Structure formats: C-alpha cells, structure tokens
C-alpha cells in the first residue's frame, strides 16, 4: 500500500512539508509507504487547452518536460493521494494550480485514472484563506471519483515561517487523525477487494447546453 503526497509549496521544508511529515508518521505506522513529490519548487507550465491528452489517449500531457507525466503514473499506481498547498492570496499556490490542472485533466481524459483511490487535501496558511483553498483543492478530488477522507476539522494547519505549523496543536491533531482515517480506509479497501468489488467504470456523459 502506498500514498503519494504532492507538496505544492516552493519551500522545501516549509509548513506544507511539515504537515505532510505529520501525516507520514501515522501512515507508516499503519504499514503504508509514503512518498512526497516536490511540485511547488519546480517550473511547471499551465494547461494550454490543446486537448492532446483527450485526442491521443496516451496518459500523457503534451508538455513533456516537467514532473506532470511522471506524477500521473505515480498516482495511478498508488493507493492514496494527498494534495497539499500553501495559501497564496486565499487560493492554491500558482505552480501547484498549474500542476493540478494538467495532472487531473490527463487522468480524466484517459478513463479516470485516479478513480476509487483514497484521497485528501491539506492546506498550510498563516491566517486567512484556508477554507477557500481547501475548497479549491477538493474540487480536483470531487470530480475524479476519488474516495475522500476527512478529519474532525477542516484539514488546515496554521503558521508563517518554515516549521511554525508544528506548533499549531489543533492543526497537528487534525492531520494525525486525518492520516489515521486515511490508513484505515486504504487497508479496509485492500482487505475487501475480493469480496466487495468496486462499481464498474461509467463513461462520462457531457451536456454542454450550447449547440
Ligand atoms: C505569495 C504569497 C501569498 C500568500 N498569501 C497568503 C494569504 O492569502 N493568506 C495567508 O494567511 N497567508 C498567506 N501567505 C502565507 C503562507 O500561506 C504561509 O506562510 C504558509 O505557511 C506557507 O506555507 P509553506 O511554508 O509550506 O510555503 C502567503 C505567502 C506568499 C509567499
């Protein structure tokens, strides 16, 4: 069993990273492997709306010079996904947004590659904009048939300088519990995979209203 975590912060050891490390401890103790993919500190172009991923159906974005195509494969092979971002102007940090648009579009265009994976989102914020960013991140999971895990509060941890978030005791508890719930659902899904088969893939219907 494996969880891939996407760190959308350009600060390698920042609060988003620390939030993921808090979750890692819980997942590892539940025998789940954990890998962080650094995204926020990379150069990642936004989606060009070329629709090549839909035309080619080769599980690839046509921009093939960054981490997106590797991430599509890694997430497709994993059992769980965490997408984590710092809050920038009450929203997802820019590079992370570029990454998510392209990665999830490729996955959707190729038969919902991430469907039925266990997933959650995490936000690091100094003060304000945590909930809007949390909502924005969740839109990617909600449209991808993912099994979304929750905690006893919204998955937001507070801090400004690198590492400060570890002092947010409520945020730390939220994320530990989130990771425990995530591990439980992943292990339960694995244990029942032969006895309770998942629903079959349904091709998405489009109704655009404009003709
Ligand atoms: C460009 C930029 C925009 C930011 N916008 C906000 C904001 O809207 N609200 C807020 O509370 N903090 C804001 N922050 C602070 C970060 O969200 C905060 O420091 C967070 O802990 C950073 O996470 P990191 O250490 O993982 O990068 C901003 C920081 C930067 C660099």
Q: Single out the residue of 76, 82, 77 nearest to residue 106, CA to CA.
A: 76
Cα separation, 81 vs 130, in Å, equals: 20
Average pLDDT across each block of 10 residues of the chain; the chain has 211 residues. List them in order.
98 97 98 98 98 98 98 98 98 98 98 98 98 98 98 98 98 98 98 95 90 67
- CATH number of the domain to which 61 belongs: 3.40.50.360
Q: Is residue 24 part of a domain?
A: yes
Taking CA atoms only, the protein residue closest to ligand 1 atom 30 is: 88
Q: Is residue 134 part of a domain?
A: yes
CB 4 within 8 A of CB 74: yes
Taking CA atoms only, the protein residue closest to ligand 1 atom 22 is: 86
Atom of ligand 1 nearest to the CA of 86: 23
Its domain, for residue 62, covers: 2-191
Residues whose beta carbon lies within 6 Å of some atom of ligand 1: 9, 11, 14-16, 86-90, 124-129, 159-160, 162
**Structure tokens of 165?**
């978030």
Q: Is residue 116 part of a domain?
A: yes
Give 16 Cα–ligand 1 centroid separation in angstroms: 10
- pLDDT of 67 reads 98
Which neighbouring-strand residues pair with 119?
81, 148
Cα separation, 29 vs 31, in Å, equals: 5
Give 9 Cα–ligand 1 centroid separation in angstroms: 9
How many domains does the chain contain in total? 1
- pLDDT of 209 reads 85
Q: Is residue 69 part of a domain?
A: yes
- pLDDT of 210 reads 74
Give 123 Cα–ligand 1 centroid separation in angstroms: 10
Taking CA atoms only, the protein residue closest to ligand 1 atom 12 is: 126
Give 87 Cα–ligand 1 centroid separation in angstroms: 5
Atom of ligand 1 nearest to the CA of 7: 26
Encode 168-186: b = buried (16+ Cβ within 10 Å), e = exposed: beebbebbebbbbbbbebb
- pLDDT of 211 reads 67
Atom of ligand 1 nearest to the CA of 128: 11
Cα separation, 121 vs 135, in Å, equals: 9
């Amino acid at each position: 069993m494996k969880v891939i975590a996407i760190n959308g912060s350009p600060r390698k050891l920042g609060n988003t990273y620390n939030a993921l490390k808090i979750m890692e401890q819980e997942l590892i103790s539940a025998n789940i492997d954990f890998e962080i993919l650094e995204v926020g500190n990379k150069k990642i172009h936004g989606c060009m709306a070329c629709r090549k991923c839909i035309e080619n159906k080769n599980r690839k974005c046509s921009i093939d010079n960054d981490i997106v195509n590797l991430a599509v494969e890694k997430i497709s092979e994993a059992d769980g996904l965490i997408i984590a971002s710092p809050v920038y102007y009450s929203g997802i940090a820019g590079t992370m947004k570029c990454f998510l648009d392209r990665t999830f579009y490729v996955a959707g265009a190729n038969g919902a590659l991430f469907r039925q994976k266990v997933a959650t989102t995490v936000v690091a914020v100094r003060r304000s904009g945590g909930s809007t960013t949390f909502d924005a991140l969740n839109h990617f999971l909600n449209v991808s048939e993912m099994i979304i895990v929750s905690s006893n509060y919204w998955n937001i941890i507070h801090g400004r300088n690198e590492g400060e978030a570890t002092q947010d005791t409520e945020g730390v508890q939220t994320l530990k519990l989130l990771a425990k719930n995530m591990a439980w659902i992943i292990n339960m899904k694995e244990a029942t995979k032969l006895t309770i088969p998942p629903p079959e893939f349904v091709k998405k219907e489009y109704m655009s209203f404009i003709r």
